[in-house]
Amino acid sequence: MEWTFGWWQVSVQRVYPTTTELSKTYNQAANWWHQHLRLLGYSHAYRELWQSLKNTNLLPHSKDSLTICDCGIGTAAFSLAFAQTINPATEITGVDISSEMLNTAHRLLNQAKIRHQICQSDVKILPLADESFDAVISAHMLEHLADPTQGLREMVRILRPGAPLILVVTCSALPGWFIQWHWGNRCFNRKELFSLMHEAGLIRLQFVLFPIGLAHLTSFACIGFRRDACF
């Protein structure tokens, strides 16, 4: 944005945290983050979201075992809700840049007896094989990327053809802007996210709203499917 005042021109440019800064921020939050999500109702909202998607038969839940990658797993709240609602035989691969978040995720997934592995990595360069997952999920991670297209393409790359990507993002509204001010993330509207996901090679895009609660005010979800053919 730019403004001109007489002979002066003033510009403002959005600056995103570096990977190191973001990792440090979430390392510091790891001890209280899971409880924070539970108290604010996000853990319950995640379960409600998965149940809603399960009822539509859009998700792969009939297999004995599912391989799921959670990008930006944090303390595994989204993954735990998936496994508990969709399929307890799910095998989770959790990716995050925060080592402390991963340690907490590992402990909580162990307690829930969910098969898993964790990987400290930037989503922009995932150390994972092409077409290796039945689904990729991610909650409130895409907002932190200066170039979300790069991250989306990596997540699509590791999806099996026809498999779904399920994203939860912070929405462009007053509550989301307060979150943005504190955490340094961006906000999305539906048109922006639709365009990004379509350009990354996803089809059959559908938006899903959370039930009444804080998550309903701050976030929305979108599911899309990788094309069967290469893109």
Cross-strand bridge partners of residue 225 = 164, 203
Q: How many CA atoms lie within 13 A of 50 on its CB side?
A: 23
Tell me the C-alpha to C-alpha distance, in Å, between residue 93 and each of 88, 96, 137, 147: 14, 10, 10, 23
Q: How many CA atoms lie within 13 A of 133 on its CB side?
A: 27
One digit per residue, the tens of pLDDT, for the chain of length 231 reads 677 776 677 665 556 667 788 788 889 989 999 998 999 999 999 999 999 999 888 886 556 789 999 999 999 999 999 999 998 999 999 999 999 999 999 999 999 999 999 999 999 999 999 999 999 999 999 998 989 999 999 999 999 999 999 999 998 865 555 555 555 567 899 999 999 999 999 999 999 999 888 898 889 999 999 987 544
Q: Which long-range contacts (CB under 8 A, 24 or more apart) does 81-84 make?
A: 81/43, 81/46, 81/47, 81/49, 81/50, 82/46, 82/50, 82/137, 83/112, 83/114, 84/47, 84/112
Q: Provide the pLDDT for residue 231.
A: 40
pTM assigned to the model = 0.89
Q: Provide the pLDDT for residue 81.
A: 97
Burial class (CB in 10 A: 0-12, 13-18, 19+), 171: buried
Tokens at 136, concatenated? 């990729």
Question: Which structural domains are found in the chain, ordered by start?
Answer: 15-226 (3.40.50.150)
- How far is it, in rounded angstroms, from Cα 189 to Cα 34? 26
Cβ–Cβ under 8 Å, residues 69 and 139: no
- How far is it, in rounded angstroms, from Cα 36 to Cα 41? 9
Per-residue DSSP letter, 65: S
Q: Provide the pLDDT for residue 230.
A: 46
